[in-house]
Structure 1
Amino acid sequence: MNKKIWIIIGVAALLVLLIGLNIWKLKADSNVKIDVTTLQEKTITETVLTPGQLKLANEQIVYYTAEKGTVKEILVKEGDSVKKGAPLIRYENKQLTLEKKQNELQIKSTNLQVSDLASKRKETEKLLKDDKENEALKAELEQIKLQQQQTQIELEQLQLQKEVIQQQIAELEVKSEVDGKIVEVNEQAALASNQLEQQPVIRIGTLDDLIVEGTISEYDTLKIEKGQAVTLKSDAVPDQAWEGVVSLISDLPKQQEGLEMDGGGVQYPIQVKVEDEIELKPGFQMLIEIKTKEQKANVLPLTAVKQDGEDNYVFVVNENKAERRDVKVGSVSNKMIEIIEGVEADEQIIVDPTDEIKNGTEVTIK
């Protein structure tokens, strides 16, 4: 009997030991290892980032205009340097040529009428001088004077028509509005009058004078000024950056299609003048980076701050347990975020809390 009792006691002790080991292991597994940090006073720079597109600063784009007629001749080729006023395209308009000839004939005919009426008036006045009481001659003279007035009005109208036609003929020769270089000539665009998307026939600009166009929010317009320094980057050349300066902030917002505004709210166009030499071509997508404010602040790594709706919080280590603490944040710069209130300078904050860390989770600092 005693032997059986000792066996039972031994088995029970073994079970207790195994259960204790499992409990210890579970407790050890639930203890999360973490990295911690504390508030650091650093100089942070608030930065506005917005996408943009590289463009020619002084550019003229010439499209085919069907109202002018057909393109008779393109007078330039790609690579040509042109001055303001240089001819680019010459149109041919047969209808306008016909209207010019008709106008010339009408003016010639009207001038003949003016000359004929002047002769008749002179002859009638001469007859009336010898027969002052002749009522028929008086009536005839008044009629001639009236016809002269009407003919003169008609002649003036024809002269105005002539000026309009001359102006339209002058516009058949499209001229350069800027000094620059011909960067594109598309002869097919001059023929495709029924194309769905109109393409430029000629594009003029200079690669030595480039800008980047983008948009900023209404809030950011209050922080950015003309003349402010800009850093420009491109995903196409990730290891390079170029300097620029804000050259324009529009007073009017970018027009939205339809009545609904997009999720970003009202956007204002912005232009940045490229200050450095840049090997990228117009059309490249750029990143506009504008530093708006520098200040000293107590900061934490961005990864330390979590969001729950509109609330920001961190996990503070308190007696080997994670304590959720709401914080008020300020400026964001690079990988740091300003902490205005919520934690003290000597408190340890978990650097990158994972989803398994909750309020009260036991933690071990690595």
Structure 2
Amino acid sequence: MKKWSFLLIAFALLFIAVNVYLIEKKNNKIDRLQYVSKWETVKQSHLIESFSSDGVVAPSETHYFYVDKKAGFNQFLVKEGDTVETGTPLFDYSTLNIEKQKELLDTEIDRIEQEIDSIDSHLQNLSSLLSDAEKDEATQVKTDKKEEESTSIPKTVSYSIKIEINQKELEKEKLEHQLKQYEEQKDNYDSEAKNLTIVSNTSGIVKNISYNLKNPVVTIVSTSPVIQGTLSEEQLSQVESGMKTISTSPLFKGKITGVLEKISTTPKNKPKVEEKSLYPYEISLDDFEQKLHEGYHVNTEVITKEISNAIVINKDSMFMQNKKYYIWVLDKGLIEKKPITLGFQINDKQQVNSGTQIGELYISEPDSIKQSGRFITPLDLGDIDKKSIKQVKWKSALKYVTIGILQK
């Protein structure tokens, strides 16, 4: 009995030793099987690299209007919450002084117009007198030619009338010139009165009115919102104008896309050694259906890198040999080592520029594979046909088990 036990142990040790020798022997012809427990498929993916930033909804533009307290403020013509357009009156100044000056001018204009009317009436009378005088003088010349020839022509009545007419016309001309000046001055006062009404140069909503006349007295914000926030020093080095953004909030449904438009390279806070600097940014929004209110807080994903239709693998599935990258692929029952060229790596995904194709199977744990060759996978008990197993004779089963041990 002891002899048979000894022989059985010796046989087992010899069996193990022979298998170890055959497996480890270099250049042996035994085809080693690799055990593959995990594999994945090369996929096509949309790669996005981004970072998250908190922001707030704000008006895209803010306009301030100031009052000149020395000009004599009169009243506000709008109230907070009003929607205004370009040209909408906001407030005006008092026109009391201008109205007084216009009243004085109107008095002077009336006086001058009366004087002109009086001169016109006088000129008509003088014209009539001149006509009569010239007729009388013509008759006298015919009856006394000798006297006219022997003596110089005296200053006649008609001559005196003509002088007076010229004087009155000159006086009228001066009055008309003065009247024109007064009327122009009155027009200037009318223009000044119009300028005393301050109108909006933009469209929007009246956000604030300072009724105590502390400037700015009127604040108007635009109706188109933007998202404002701040970037850290690290984030500032990653961004540039034109990058896409996606904003979300529990205050509204869906996502709002936009573009990073303004990036300040000057810190929002005064630089200090003990504090990190923050840099303001502004996002212009694409068309959206959500109702946004100023002050809504949002979370924004800033997309710093984006690749469409990229061929990707898991970043942990590649390995390096001789400064080149490889992956283990499964093809027709064999494991093959394939060289690949890399693109961008975003999170746990690695873009592959060449060396593999979509749908190809690759091993996700490359350290578990020693070399190329055939492979086996874990047994799925659910796929076993119990009836077929019962039909296998015990000698055949022992044969298959022995072959499996030797090949392993």
Could you say which TM-score interval applies, normalised by the shorter chain? 0.3 to 0.5
Q: In terms of Rg, which structure is larger? A: 2
Q: Per residue, is there more strand in 1 or in 2?
A: 1
